[in-house]
Amino acid sequence: MYSVQEYTEFRKKYIFTMPELQVDNDNMYFCGDLVEDSEKKYAEGETWINVGYGFKNSISRVLSNLYPMEFEFRGKKVKSIEGVLQGIKYKDIETQDLVLNYAGLDAYHTRACNEIDFWGESGILYWQGEEIVRESEDYQLFIDELYVSAISNPLYRRALLSTKNKYLLHHIGRNNSQETVLTRYELEERLNTLRDFVKLHYKI
């Protein structure tokens, strides 16, 4: 339905800036609004929406990688974006296929099964037995294809569009690419650029 190549070209031309988080004592702020204090994390501010599966805010949850969201990716029917992101840590195809069928916290916690062969030490991930170097352009194209595939699900697409022009934030995301298969920057860039890409190609 959507062209991965067109999206990649769109993303590369897009002027994307990721605002920094500000910390003051035990409080964290984003664009001047409180995003986390000692008691809670906040799902929405005046100019942003914080994406995360643990929030009660429906849009925050639906746009989370963990949210159960069936779509087809590279000929495989998957149950969530998170299932793919955890699945690529496994070289064994049979094990990877099992992980692709998980969503929510179940998908996230499959990471515990891969501790013996920690991917971060080698920088190598896998898709159906073939190596993907984490720090490569091929990997970025893989992630582009994953998110473009996800917008084939109408609920995910509508959730993106319902955010209007608010910045899509994931404030708990990690910044070191050796510690995560998707950094805060990589996720926020995909969500914000993808939303604007869909606006050009789809009308509710």
Cα–Cα distance measured from residue 85 to residue 203, given in angstroms and rounded to the nearest whole number: 29
Q: Whole-angstrom distance between the N-terminal and C-terminal Cα of the chain?
A: 15
Domains in the chain, CATH or no CATH each? 4-201 (1.10.357.40)
Listed in sequence order, the residues at least 6 apart from 134 whose beta carbon sits closer than 8 Å to its beta carbon are 119, 123, 124, 125, 177, 178, 181
Phi, psi of 77 (to 5 degrees): -85, 115
**pTM listed for this prediction:** 0.94
pLDDT tens by residue, 144-193: 999 999 999 999 999 999 999 999 999 999 999 999 999 999 999 999 99
pLDDT tens by residue, 57-69: 999 999 999 999 9
